[in-house]
């Protein structure tokens, strides 16, 4: 399973990249705003800076919600770097735009997906990635991982090449759940990725090894 980090924070992207486990980045307008990035030029420069750090796909979301606007914006974003994936919302014009980008060989990430039917449409339109938001479903007491399972089944039934990008991941249990189901990618915060490192028996075991070593060395 590929690991994407869901942030526009350059320091966190660098930390994940340095850990050696990062396969890509997802951003969205809220994450860009959180970093104080606004204005066309700043946004463009920020995407370029992310592409310089990361070795993999970088999702950049369109702001337009009409077909022509999404095409114009998406083509501008895609021209920035071959790593750019145009992130398009799951709306009618978004599906049409995904079809257009797919024919032109421009990678897409269909975002804001909350049902298997939406994921089926995204795959039919030729999306490179589909992003079901599992954390936001959990927030309204709907099992987000169950949606990943449904999409996996549907895509495998028909051999769709669209990659399931489990989004809105909140913690390490989500990552493990996605891995067991067979999601192609997960995107989450740095904290969820680094939480995978942690086990109390690792910490106490290491402390014991070091203490025994020091004792044997007469320290
Ligand atoms: C997906 O690409 C989105 O950026 C993201 O995962 C949204 O997650 P949130 O629910 O934590 O905002």
Strands (DSSP E) contained in 10-161 are 24-26, 57-61, 84-89, 108-113, 129-132
pLDDT at 110: 98
Query: How do residues 85-101 score in pLDDT, each as one tens digit?
Result: 999 999 999 999 999 99
- Ligand 1 binding residues, C-beta < 6 A: 6, 26, 28, 111, 131, 133, 135-136, 167-168, 187
Do the Cβ atoms of 12 and 190 come closer than 8 Å? yes
| For the CA of 165, the nearest atom of ligand 1 | 2
Cα separation, 179 vs 175, in Å, equals: 6
The vertex-177 CA angle with 173 and 178, nearest 5°, equals 120
**Residue of 3, 12, 28 with the most ligand 1 atoms within 8 Å of its CB, for mutation:** 28
Secondary-structure breakdown of the chain: helix, strand, coil percentages, each rounded to the nearest 5: 55, 20, 25
Query: How do residues 186-218 score in pLDDT, each as one tens digit?
Result: 999 999 999 999 999 999 999 999 999 999 998
**Residue of 135, 168, 186 with the most ligand 1 atoms within 8 Å of its CB, for mutation:** 168
Residue nearest to atom 8 of ligand 1 (CA): 168
DSSP state of 196: G
Query: How do residues 53-72 score in pLDDT, each as one tens digit?
Result: 999 999 999 999 999 999 99
Cα separation, 90 vs 174, in Å, equals: 23
- Closest by CA to 73, choosing from 62, 82, 83, 84, is 62
Find the 188 Cα to ligand 1 centroid distance in Å.
8
Do the Cβ atoms of 84 and 77 come closer than 8 Å? yes
Find the 109 Cα to ligand 1 centroid distance in Å.
12
Find the 125 Cα to ligand 1 centroid distance in Å.
22
| Model ipTM over 0.85 | yes
Q: Compute how many other C-beta atoms are within 10 angstroms of the C-beta atom of residue 34.
A: 13
Find the 79 Cα to ligand 1 centroid distance in Å.
24
Residue nearest to atom 1 of ligand 1 (CA): 167
Query: How do residues 116-128 score in pLDDT, each as one tens digit?
Result: 999 999 999 999 9
- Is the pLDDT at 219 greater than 80, yes or no? no
pLDDT above 90: percentage of residues in the chain: 99
Report, at the CATH architecture level, how domain 2-216 is classified: Alpha-Beta Barrel (3.20)
Average pLDDT of every residue of the chain? 97
Query: Annotated active-site positions, please?
Result: 87
Q: Strand 24-26 vs strand 108-113: parallel, antiparallel, or unpaired?
A: unpaired
pLDDT at 218: 87
State how far the alpha carbon of 103 is from the alpha carbons of 98, 100, 106, 108, 207, in Å: 9, 5, 8, 11, 57
Strands (DSSP E) contained in 41-166 are 57-61, 84-89, 108-113, 129-132, 163-166
Q: What is the mean pLDDT of residues 6-29?
A: 97
Residue nearest to atom 9 of ligand 1 (CA): 168
Query: How do residues 33-46 score in pLDDT, each as one tens digit?
Result: 999 999 999 999 99
- Is the pLDDT at 77 greater than 80, yes or no? yes
User: Quick one: 22 exposed, middle or buried, by C-beta within 10 A (0-12, 13-18, 19+)?
Assistant: buried
Residue nearest to atom 7 of ligand 1 (CA): 168
| For the CA of 59, the nearest atom of ligand 1 | 2
């Amino acid at each position: 399973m590929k690991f994407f980090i869901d942030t526009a924070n350059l320091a966190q992207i660098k930390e994940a990249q340095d850990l050696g486990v990062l396969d890509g980045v997802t951003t969205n307008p809220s994450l860009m705003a959180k970093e104080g990035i606004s204005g066309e030029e700043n946004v463009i420069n920020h995407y370029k800076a992310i592409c310089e750090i990361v070795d993999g796909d970088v999702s950049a979301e369109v702001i337009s919600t009409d077909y022509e606007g999404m095409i114009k914006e998406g083509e501008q974003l895609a021209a920035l770097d071959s790593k750019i994936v145009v992130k398009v919302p799951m709306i009618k014009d978004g599906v049409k735009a995904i079809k257009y980008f797919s024919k032109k060989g421009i990678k897409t990430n269909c975002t804001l997906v909350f049902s298997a039917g939406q994921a089926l449409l995204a795959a039919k339109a030729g999306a490179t990635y589909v992003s079901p938001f599992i954390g936001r479903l959990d927030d309204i007491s709907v099992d987000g991982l169950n949606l990943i399972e449904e999409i996996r089944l549907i895509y495998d039934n028909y051999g769709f090449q669209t990659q399931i990008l489990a989004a809105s991941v909140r913690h390490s249990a989500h990552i493990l759940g996605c891995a067991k189901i067979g999601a192609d990618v997960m995107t989450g915060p740095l904290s969820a990725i680094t939480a995978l490192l942690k086990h109390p028996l690792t910490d106490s075991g290491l402390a014991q090894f070091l203490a025994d070593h020091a004792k044997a060395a007469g320290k």
